[in-house]
A and B are shown apart, each in its own frame.
Chain A
Amino acid sequence: MSYVGRTVEEERRMLEAIGVDRFEDLLAAIPREVLLEQPPPIEGPLSEIEIRRRFGRLARSNDADHSVSFLGGGVYDHYIPAAVNALAMRSEFATAYTPYQAEVAQGTLTAIFEFQSMVAELTGMEVANASLYDGATAAVEAALLSRAHTGRRRVVVAGAFHPHTIEVLRTYLDPGDLTVVADRGGQCAPEDLKPALGPEVACVLYQHPNFFGLIETPHAMHTLAHEAGALAVACCDPIALALLEPPGTSGADIVVGEGQSLGNPPSFGGPMLGFFACRQALVRRMPGRLAAQTVDRQGRRGFVLTLQTREQHIRREKATSNICTNQGLIALRATIYLALMGREGLREVAALCVRKSHHAAERAAALAGYRLVHGGPFFREFVLECPVDAARVCGQGRRDGVLPGVDLGRFRPEWRRWLLVAVTEQRSVEEIDAWLRVLERAGEGVR
């Protein structure tokens, strides 16, 4: 199989025009000893028929193909309107690249501008960028910006934060510069955060709703961060922000997060969608692409990439970040999703998540041996303590066509009986009942 349209005769004509006898003459600069006589022995070629057969089998071997998901922990099974797929898969968006030539990229640039507008609105911030790789690296970029802005080194992570995001922060920062303030009963307690702050702290990062699904008290954290001269960075879920007061309103300096839940499938954790919003005063330190409004020579409104002097292709080692591309197509999906759901629809999604997750939590807590680990208010997601190891509940679910939640034992051995359960607007009351039966079966005979 080949995607090259070329005959032997055409190749001969081309070689002649180039002025060589054989193709190999073009490789004269390559040392003989490293030129392969045969290509590496990989598999293939496979026709589309064989590709479909092979990958169809692999895809079906993932339980997600035929199971009802209560999995969350940063990646959620939300409703994706049909129009999102239909529009975002179009060649005009998918097979274009970074809009270097604005005159033939107004589609992409306008969509980025709309994305920035909607993220700024959701987060309550003045500006947002065109997106970053994922929520975890967006948190890293917020920490790096804070360090550059304050000239301080220490980064404080407060409360129940996604363990993977902490790991990514450790990879990018010197681990000695990272302080993690543990949660108390699932949430960040101001009396725990305060002693961790000092004149060397660049920023306080917190997650809201946090890793356990609990709602934090952003205004209290913003105040504490600012009293210490640090920036306040919120890591938020955009669906929750349809309902919750945006962190910008109560003084956050930067709001980042994972935007997968906006019109994107879980896709095994990638591609995801990091978003990054901040106060206008920080815009020149912002990482990633930025689209701005302007006019063309006839005075018509149009959009271009702007402040490119922040970026690596101009500034090289002095750039604000090494980021080159954004997650263009994923951000486009989020933009289409937000346009379709709109102000009414997105709030309904959020409200359904709250009501369904609370219903599921209450019913589960009434089952013998199960209890809710935390008492605070939660959005969409909660931690259930099981009478058996959570892994056993997951095993039971696999047999019953239900993915009952994330086994938190994967993060810490002392959490091995904790199941992190997400209930989105997609879960019907019948599916919640099926999930409850999985819990019952898994717990049978233990009490």
Chain B
Amino acid sequence: MNLERRLLNEQGGPGHRGPGLPACDVPPRPLAELLPGARLRDELRLPQVSEPEVVRHFIELSALNHHVDKGLYPLGSCTMKHNPKINDEVASLPGFALAHPLADDESIQGAIRVMHDLQRALAEITGFAAVTTQPAAGAQGELTGLLLIRAWHRSRGEASRRTVIVPDSAHGTNPASVRLVGYETMTIASGSHGTVDPEALRGALSAETAALMLTVPNTLGLFEPRILEVARLAHEAGAQVYLDGANLNALVGHVRPGDLGFDVMHINLHKTFSTPHGGGGPGAGPVAVARHLEPFLPVPVIVERDGLLRLSSDRPGSIGRVHGFHGNFGILVRALTYILTLGPQGLRGVSRNAILNANYLMRRLAGTYELPHPEHCMHEFVLSGRGLKRYGVKTLDVAKRLLDFGVHAPTVYFPLIVEEALMIEPTETETLDRLDHFAAAMKRIAAEARESPQLLLDAPHGTPLQRLDEGRAARELVLRWQDPAPAPSPSAETSSTWR
């Protein structure tokens, strides 16, 4: 028997409730008397479910997810590496979890110290002068970096620079962030090797160019071999050079982006620095800058005075705040824990093994799937499923079939410059056995595409649900639970305790 899973609102009912609260130990005066003139609500249709049933509900839901702790998760550009458990333990220490962002500086020295130490460590690792840990995510880091660049141009009387050059292989957040600061994107085509062609760049640079925004290694997993020349060209044209740090996992411990000519970069702590992805956040997107951009960093900044760390907003050139408080502190604690756990050699081992794993997997699969860019890759590589089209099979079908082998699908249809793209990033924490299993699954799927393509078209077979109708979801647009029955009368559910 397969009972359809019920949503919370479809379970329990009046009289069912979770954990209780202490009795009111102050005079229980009527709320209407305490809140004169305020309009109160009549009904609140939240679930009414007992604790055991809430627990079962979420445990049942949890069993429907694929996750890193269960198996390989080779989503390109997402760096789905192991999330060490000590990081979570440290972040949940009461002194961190209960620390309040508006407490006076004397009472939060430990929390400020964590941010300070992380900023210093990230500056060392990236080779930049200063770091802000305020941006809450990579995309917000991009926005912050572009605001810093804008502030710098304005401070030099060059506010007319409003164009940002972005290669066609860039993440979608790049052009979206560019627009948010009021700049325009100019897209340049990648050269034949998938990297920036300095000649094309030279033609695109002008007195209007505010910045060049690059991802290194790029989304094909390739290092920009002429990066020093590219950065020099941009600087000669008066532009700033921004690094989308999504792929820092390929560089950490081996290359400092600050040495490559970049002026500013963001760092995704949830990628390179191992904090859990949480089903889509929270991440954190610190921004590292060269000395000339430091005066513009978001406030507050950390300064040391009289032996105390202080949060200072005395920064006249600052772009202002980008977050309500100090960014995703709980993520910052985890990242610092990770960095200190690994130490210098451990961090170097991260990129070494990430690169090794990606190259190994790429060579294992090269004969089976098309490999448009056969150079050695860095931490990830891109295959094309184009060759399977003759069997009526698309990359999407390969992705869905992979789910039947207990692994997550790679990133598909990105980057846009590769037809039927499969973007694969194994990360350093996968063992040789796991890589071999994945390669075997990919090869078997390619064989199935030839011999029994319907198997792929109907995939996945072993997942909790089969393929879902996305078109119907967008047409009907049911975005919240709807009560099929009329709401109960307020009197039936009103308890005397809240009025």
Asked whether A114 lies within 8 Å of B282 as measured between CB atoms, the reply is no
Q: Taking the complex as formed, is B225 at the interface, i.e. its CB lies under 8 A from any CB of chain A?
A: yes
Q: Taking the complex as formed, is A81 at the interface, i.e. its CB lies under 8 A from any CB of chain B?
A: yes
Contact pattern, A 295-327, Cβ under 8 Å of B = 1, otherwise 0: 111101111101100011111111101111111
For B99, list chain A residues within 8 Å (CB): 62, 64, 266-268
* Choice from A61, A92, A342 contacting B62 with Cβ under 8 Å: A92
Besides the contacts A97-B73, A99-B279, A324-B139, what 4 more A-B pairs have beta carbons closer than 8 Å?
A: A110-B5, A245-B40, A267-B96, A329-B281
- Shortest C-beta distance, B407 to chain A (Å), equals 10
For A352, list chain B residues within 8 Å (CB): 21, 24
For B307, list chain A residues within 8 Å (CB): none
Interface window among A122-130, A196-204, A437-445: A122-130
Q: A121-B45, A347-B44 are in contact. Are A268 and B466 (CB under 8 A)?
A: no
Asked whether A36 lies within 8 Å of B254 as measured between CB atoms, the reply is yes
* Choice from B31, B36, B400 contacting A243 with Cβ under 8 Å: B31
Contact pattern, A 54-88, Cβ under 8 Å of B = 1, otherwise 0: 11111111111101010101110101011101110
For A60, list chain B residues within 8 Å (CB): 95, 110
Q: In whole angstroms, how far apart are the Cα atoms of A99 and B92 in the complex?
A: 26
Report 8 cross-chain contacts, Cβ distance below 8 Å, ordered by A residue: A43-B121, A75-B101, A83-B55, A93-B65, A98-B279, A330-B278, A339-B58, A428-B25
Q: Taking the complex as formed, is A18 at the interface, i.e. its CB lies under 8 A from any CB of chain B?
A: yes
Q: Which residue of A lies closest to B429 (CB)?
A: A3
Q: Taking the complex as formed, is A212 at the interface, i.e. its CB lies under 8 A from any CB of chain B?
A: no
Asked whether B498 lies within 8 Å of A101 as measured between CB atoms, the reply is no
Q: A117-B480, A301-B4 are in contact. Are A64 and B228 (CB under 8 A)?
A: no
For B4, list chain A residues within 8 Å (CB): 300-301
For A3, list chain B residues within 8 Å (CB): 81-82, 84, 274, 342, 428-429
Interface window among B200-208, B234-242, B330-338: B330-338
Interface window among B287-295, B349-357, B386-394, B443-451: B349-357
Asked whether B255 lies within 8 Å of A379 as measured between CB atoms, the reply is no
Asked whether A134 lies within 8 Å of B121 as measured between CB atoms, the reply is no
Q: A39-B348, A87-B58, A294-B468 are in contact. Are A329 and B44 (CB under 8 A)?
A: no
Ranked nearest first, the 5 interchain pairs of A and B with the lowest CB-CB distance are A269-B325, A269-B101, A44-B343, A59-B95, A329-B278
For A43, list chain B residues within 8 Å (CB): 121, 340, 343
* Choice from A75, A95, A131, A395 contacting B69 with Cβ under 8 Å: A95
Q: A322-B180, A344-B48 are in contact. Are A42 and B124 (CB under 8 A)?
A: yes
* Choice from B51, B360, B403, B468 contacting A14 with Cβ under 8 Å: B360
Q: Taking the complex as formed, is B156 at the interface, i.e. its CB lies under 8 A from any CB of chain A?
A: no
For B109, list chain A residues within 8 Å (CB): 61-62
Size bin of chain A's contact surface: 35 or more
Q: Taking the complex as formed, is B359 at the interface, i.e. its CB lies under 8 A from any CB of chain A?
A: yes
Q: Taking the complex as formed, is B19 at the interface, i.e. its CB lies under 8 A from any CB of chain A?
A: yes
Asked whether B137 lies within 8 Å of A133 as measured between CB atoms, the reply is yes
Asked whether B278 lies within 8 Å of A328 as measured between CB atoms, the reply is yes
Q: Taking the complex as formed, is A403 at the interface, i.e. its CB lies under 8 A from any CB of chain B?
A: yes
For A280, list chain B residues within 8 Å (CB): 477
Q: Taking the complex as formed, is B127 at the interface, i.e. its CB lies under 8 A from any CB of chain A?
A: yes
- Shortest C-beta distance, B412 to chain A (Å), equals 8
Asked whether B78 lies within 8 Å of A83 as measured between CB atoms, the reply is no
* Choice from A97, A134, A398, A403 contacting B100 with Cβ under 8 Å: A403
Asked whether A40 lies within 8 Å of B341 as measured between CB atoms, the reply is no
Q: Taking the complex as formed, is A1 at the interface, i.e. its CB lies under 8 A from any CB of chain B?
A: yes
- Shortest C-beta distance, A211 to chain B (Å), equals 11
* Chain A positions 126-146 with a Cβ under 8 Å from a chain B Cβ: 126-128, 130-131, 133-137
Q: Taking the complex as formed, is B49 at the interface, i.e. its CB lies under 8 A from any CB of chain A?
A: yes
For B470, list chain A residues within 8 Å (CB): 102, 294, 304, 306
For B314, list chain A residues within 8 Å (CB): none
Asked whether A97 lies within 8 Å of B110 as measured between CB atoms, the reply is no
Asked whether B17 lies within 8 Å of A342 as measured between CB atoms, the reply is yes
Contact pattern, A 34-59, Cβ under 8 Å of B = 1, otherwise 0: 11101111111111100110111111
For B7, list chain A residues within 8 Å (CB): 110, 113-114, 117
Asked whether B46 lies within 8 Å of A268 as measured between CB atoms, the reply is no
Q: In whole angstroms, how far apart are the Cα atoms of A258 and B323 in the complex?
A: 12
* Choice from B44, B343, B349 contacting A346 with Cβ under 8 Å: B44
For A326, list chain B residues within 8 Å (CB): 280-281
Q: Taking the complex as formed, is B473 at the interface, i.e. its CB lies under 8 A from any CB of chain A?
A: yes
Q: Which residue of B lies closest to A67 (CB)?
A: B107
For B325, list chain A residues within 8 Å (CB): 74-75, 134, 164, 268-270, 272
Q: Taking the complex as formed, is B191 at the interface, i.e. its CB lies under 8 A from any CB of chain A?
A: no
Asked whether A293 lies within 8 Å of B478 as measured between CB atoms, the reply is yes
* Choice from B17, B65, B172 contacting A92 with Cβ under 8 Å: B65
- Shortest C-beta distance, B375 to chain A (Å), equals 7
Q: In whole angstroms, how far apart are the Cα atoms of A17 and B45 in the complex?
A: 60
For B372, list chain A residues within 8 Å (CB): none
Q: Taking the complex as formed, is B497 at the interface, i.e. its CB lies under 8 A from any CB of chain A?
A: yes
Asked whether B17 lies within 8 Å of A345 as measured between CB atoms, the reply is yes
For A369, list chain B residues within 8 Å (CB): none
Contact pattern, A 320-357, Cβ under 8 Å of B = 1, otherwise 0: 01111111111010001011111111111111101110
For B247, list chain A residues within 8 Å (CB): none
Q: Taking the complex as formed, is A158 at the interface, i.e. its CB lies under 8 A from any CB of chain B?
A: no
Asked whether A51 lies within 8 Å of B472 as measured between CB atoms, the reply is no
Q: A96-B65, A302-B468, A351-B31 are in contact. Are A346 and B359 (CB under 8 A)?
A: no
For A45, list chain B residues within 8 Å (CB): 340-343, 345-346
Asked whether A304 lies within 8 Å of B468 as measured between CB atoms, the reply is yes
